[in-house]
């Protein structure tokens, strides 16, 4: 059974939960998601001898807003992760994260390598290219304004759907996105995060990842419907991180990033590598 906790850090209350016993694993979710969207509710880690810690990032889920609209950047997110580890009395942990969570754990591992035993980088989106990142800001600003002015419906209108998608796929995407957004208690603060965080950099460029000396796995998605997390970028991350193991989606199968039990097994395997 999960034990809920809260951590006070830099004017933010982080809402989290801990379950299981054994080797510690910290899970970090993506932008607009919550803690339930890393391993999608899978309990494989807890059942296989792992202590699982997960929490809602600032402005997400049941965590409180940042004290000011601009206080959403990767330095602060990495510090939040450290505050959670400190609160739980954990000196070192394997850290797994998706998208925003992946960028956060890399920022943490680069700044405080002694606190990170291994990493699972799931569907990274940050390219390390300033020109490409600036070109993406318009979409993030559109999503932010859509959520702020129109709530969930405004966000969905700004979000759109992939061209050529089947009606069934569109319905699934909109339903899942609506369910995910309904879990946030502070939508205006989430809109602030959507505006501010994409202007932050977890590290300057992918070449910085060569400094990482720890067991690592990169999970890259070849989902054509997910243009924000291209497979080629995941491959580039795996090439940049020394000795990282690359895992890609099998042809014709659902993305591994959405398969909680498969992700959990990948994380458990990495924990085994760390000893």
Query: What does the pLDDT look like over 166-196, one tens digit per residue?
Result: 788 788 888 999 999 999 999 999 999 999 9
- Would you put residue 121 in left (φ > 0), alpha (ψ -120 to 50) or beta? beta
Question: CB atoms < 10 A from the CB of 213, how many?
Answer: 11
Query: Looking at the DSSP assignment, which residues form a beta bridge with residue 27?
Result: 54, 96
Residues 220-258: pLDDT tens digits? 998 766 788 999 999 999 999 999 999 999 988 889 999
pLDDT score of 275: 82
pLDDT score of 253: 85
pLDDT score of 114: 98
Is a pLDDT exceeding 80 seen at residue 165? no
Token pair 């700044």 is found at: 111
pLDDT score of 170: 81
pTM across the whole model: 0.96
pLDDT score of 150: 97
pLDDT score of 6: 98
Closest CA to 54 of 72, 36, 66, 73: 36
Is a pLDDT exceeding 90 seen at residue 259? yes
Is a pLDDT exceeding 80 seen at residue 164? no
pLDDT score of 135: 94
Q: Among 10-19, 164-173, 192-201, which stretch is predicted with the lowest mean pLDDT?
A: 164-173
Mean pLDDT (the chain) is 95
Q: What are phi and psi of 130, to 5 degrees?
A: -60, -40
Percent of the chain scored above 70 by pLDDT?
98
Token duo for residue 130: 């300033």
pLDDT score of 166: 79
């Amino acid at each position: 059974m999960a034990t809920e906790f809260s951590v006070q850090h830099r004017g933010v209350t982080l809402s989290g939960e801990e379950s299981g016993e054994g080797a510690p694993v910290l899970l970090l979710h993506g932008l607009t998601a919550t803690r339930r969207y890393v391993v999608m509710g899978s309990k494989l880690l807890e059942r296989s001898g792992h202590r699982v810690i997960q929490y809602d990032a600032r402005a997400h889920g049941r965590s409180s807003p940042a004290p000011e609209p601009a206080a959403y950047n990767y330095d602060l997110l990495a510090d939040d992760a450290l505050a959670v580890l400190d609160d739980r009395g954990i000196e070192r942990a394997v850290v797994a994260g998706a998208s925003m969570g992946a960028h956060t754990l890399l920022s943490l591992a680069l700044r405080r390598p002694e606190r990170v035993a291994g990493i699972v980088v799931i569907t990274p989106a940050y390219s390390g290219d300033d020109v490409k990142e600036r070109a993406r800001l318009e979409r993030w600003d559109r999503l932010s304004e859509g959520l702020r002015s129109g709530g969930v419906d405004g966000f969905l209108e700004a979000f759109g759907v992939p061209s050529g998608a089947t009606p069934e796929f569109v319905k699934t995407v909109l339903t899942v996105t609506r369910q995910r957004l309904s879990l946030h208690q502070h939508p205006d603060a989430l809109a602030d995060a959507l505006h501010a965080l994409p202007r932050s950099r977890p590290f300057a460029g992918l070449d910085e990842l060569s400094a990482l000396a720890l067991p690592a796995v990169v999970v890259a998605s070849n989902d054509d419907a997910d243009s924000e997390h291209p497979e080629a970028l995941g491959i580039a991350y795996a090439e940049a991180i020394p000795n990282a193991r690359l895992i890609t989606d099998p042809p014709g199968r659902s993305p591994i990033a959405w398969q909680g039990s498969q992700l959990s097994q990948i994380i458990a395997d990495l924990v085994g590598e760390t000893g």
